[in-house]
Amino acid sequence: MDTQQKDLSYFRLRLQELLNTSFPEIANDQKFIEERSLWTANAYEGAFR
C-alpha cells in the first residue's frame, strides 16, 4: 500500500479557508495556493531572524 501524506501547513490551511469562503472562484487553484502559502511561511520565518 503506497499512500502519500501531505504536509499540513498552517498558512496553506488558513489561505484555503479564506478562499473557500471569500473567493470560491480561485479556491481550487492549487498552484496559487502553494505559491502564496510558501511566500507567507517564508515571510513569517524571516520576521524572526
Quick one: pLDDT at residue 19? 97
Inter-residue contact 36 to 19 (CB < 8 Å): no
Cβ atoms of residues 10 and 32 within 8 Å: no
Angle at 27 between CA 41 and CA 11, to 5 degrees: 15
Asked if residue 44 lies in contact with residue 11, where contact means CB atoms within 8 angstroms, the answer is yes
pLDDT of 14 higher than 60: yes
Domain edges within the chain: 10-47
Tens digit of each residue's pLDDT (9 = 90 or more) over 27-44: 999 999 999 999 999 999
